[in-house]
């Protein structure tokens, strides 16, 4: 392909981040806009600024279920305004290049394969650990074209009802949202914690505040992170038993709590997964972090 650049665009609930990316997965130029107001016209503006005749195509990454046949978004909880919008085909017609759209965790997995922590593996699973939990699966150096809603695997048959309609989803026990709600539950039940002393209105507490308290030795906060880590470990052991990947790559805001939350997850996964399979699986951090989705979305342009 003579054009060696693609535009990757990551549409998040807060920001739209976009870049010109080389066919080797390097970011050449990056821009960021707030994702408020008319998102479709912001997208057009961004592409207008980045597009040149060297661009081989445009790749989008966003949270939600994608209709690959139509090239549109079926469901996106953070961005309902793009649901059903036909911007992919319209942009393709306007700029006369291929335009693809992919789920954000899938795009991030592909980005790590192109130029991140997954570049030396053929088979790995990426987990995004933040407000929710997402997943992407790389098999034989290719992105599996499946929804990979790993955050919605049931890990507790009698568990909490999830927004997806299922019960006991991993996301309801191991995400930042779950960590916050579990801390609030403990506080409401009268457990002592420096969180209560610091926050008059502890219902607005953030995962960062809980993590800070955990690092200072606050027992409630440590328990909350460890408990979430235990459930993450159960999820990871299921992934290892089903897919026996060479690596599980972790990304998202919660990996800042590696020493409590992820360490606990690794311990639990080592106890629960098939021992031979666990030994062959590296559990490692993302290298690209927030840039993985952009690089992956652009990389998919060259792949298709
Ligand atoms: Zn669910």
Q: How many whole angstroms from 113 Cα to the centroid of ligand 1?
A: 27
- For residue range 213-265, list pLDDT tens digits in order: 999 999 999 999 999 999 999 999 999 999 999 999 999 999 999 999 999 99
Structure tokens at 30: 């990056």
Residue 137 or 40, more confident? 137
At 36 the pLDDT is 86
Exposure pattern of 130-155 as b/e (b: 16+ CB <10 Å)?
bbbbbbbbbeeeebbeebbbbbbbeb
Is the predicted pLDDT of residue 17 greater than 80, yes or no?
yes
User: Which residue is listed with tokens 């949270």?
Assistant: 63
- For residue range 271-289, list pLDDT tens digits in order: 999 999 999 999 999 999 9
Is the predicted pLDDT of residue 8 greater than 90, yes or no?
yes
Q: How many whole angstroms from 231 Cα to the centroid of ligand 1?
A: 14
- For residue range 152-208, list pLDDT tens digits in order: 999 999 999 998 899 999 999 999 999 999 999 999 999 999 999 888 888 899 999
Q: How many whole angstroms from 163 Cα to the centroid of ligand 1?
A: 6
- Which superfamily, per CATH, for 5-111+290-303? ATPase, nucleotide binding domain (3.30.420.40)
- As a whole number of angstroms, the distance between CA 206 and CA 295 comes to 29
Ramachandran angles phi, psi of 16, nearest 5°: -105, 120
The interaxial angle of helices 263-272 and 219-243, nearest 10 deg, is: 40
Q: Which residues are registered as beta bridge partners of 127? A: 135, 250
Calculate what percentage of the chain has a pLDDT beyond 70.
99
The domain locations on the chain are 5-111+290-303, 118-286
Q: How many whole angstroms from 171 Cα to the centroid of ligand 1?
A: 7
Please, which pLDDT band fits residue 13 given cuts at 50, 70 and 90?
A: confident
Q: How many whole angstroms from 178 Cα to the centroid of ligand 1?
A: 12
CATH architecture group of domain 118-286: 2-Layer Sandwich (3.30)
Please, which pLDDT band fits residue 90 given cuts at 50, 70 and 90?
A: very high
Q: How many whole angstroms from 170 Cα to the centroid of ligand 1?
A: 7
Q: Which residues are registered as beta bridge partners of 100? A: 59
Q: How many whole angstroms from 190 Cα to the centroid of ligand 1?
A: 29
At 81 the pLDDT is 87
At 220 the pLDDT is 97
Is the predicted pLDDT of residue 1 greater than 60, yes or no?
no
Q: How many whole angstroms from 166 Cα to the centroid of ligand 1?
A: 5
- For residue range 98-150, list pLDDT tens digits in order: 999 999 999 999 999 999 999 999 999 999 999 999 999 999 999 998 889 99
Q: How many whole angstroms from 150 Cα to the centroid of ligand 1?
A: 9
Is the predicted pLDDT of residue 71 greater than 60, yes or no?
yes
- As a whole number of angstroms, the distance between CA 294 and CA 110 comes to 10
The rounded mean pLDDT for the chain is 95
At 2 the pLDDT is 64
Give the global pTM: 0.95
Q: How many whole angstroms from 173 Cα to the centroid of ligand 1?
A: 10
């Amino acid at each position: 392909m003579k054009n060696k650049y693609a535009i990757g665009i990551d549409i998040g609930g807060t920001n739209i981040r976009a870049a010109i990316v080389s066919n080797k997965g390097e970011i050449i130029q990056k821009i960021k806009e707030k994702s408020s107001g008319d998102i479709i016209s912001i997208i057009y503006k961004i592409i207008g600024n980045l597009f040149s005749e060297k661009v081989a195509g445009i790749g989008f990454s966003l949270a939600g279920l994608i209709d690959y046949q139509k090239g549109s978004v079926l469901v996106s909880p953070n961005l309902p305004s793009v649901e059903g919008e036909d911007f992919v085909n319209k942009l393709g017609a306007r700029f006369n290049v291929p335009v693809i759209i992919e789920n954000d965790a899938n795009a991030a997995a592909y980005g790590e394969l192109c130029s991140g922590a997954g570049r030396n593996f053929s088979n790995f699973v990426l987990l995004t650990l933040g407000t929710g939990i997402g997943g992407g699966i790389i098999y034989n150096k290719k992105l599996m074209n499946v929804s990979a809603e790993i955050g919605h695997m049931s890990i507790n048959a009698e568990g909490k009802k999830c927004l997806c309609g299922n019960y006991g989803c991993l996301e309801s026990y191991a995400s930042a949202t779950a960590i916050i709600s579990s801390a609030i539950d403990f506080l409401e039940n009268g457990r002592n914690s420096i969180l209560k002393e610091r926050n008059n209105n502890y219902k607005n507490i953030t995962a960062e505040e809980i993590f800070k308290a955990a690092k200072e030795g606050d027992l409630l906060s440590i328990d909350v992170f460890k408990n979430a880590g235990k459930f993450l470990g159960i999820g990871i052991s299921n992934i290892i038993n089903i897919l026996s990947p060479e690596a599980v790559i972790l990304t998202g805001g919660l990996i800042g709590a590696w020493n409590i939350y992820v360490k606990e997850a690794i311990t639990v996964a080592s106890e629960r997964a098939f021992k031979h399979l666990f030994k062959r699986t590296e559990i490692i951090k993302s290298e690209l972090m927030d840039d993985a989705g952009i690089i992956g979305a652009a990389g998919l342009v060259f792949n298709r």
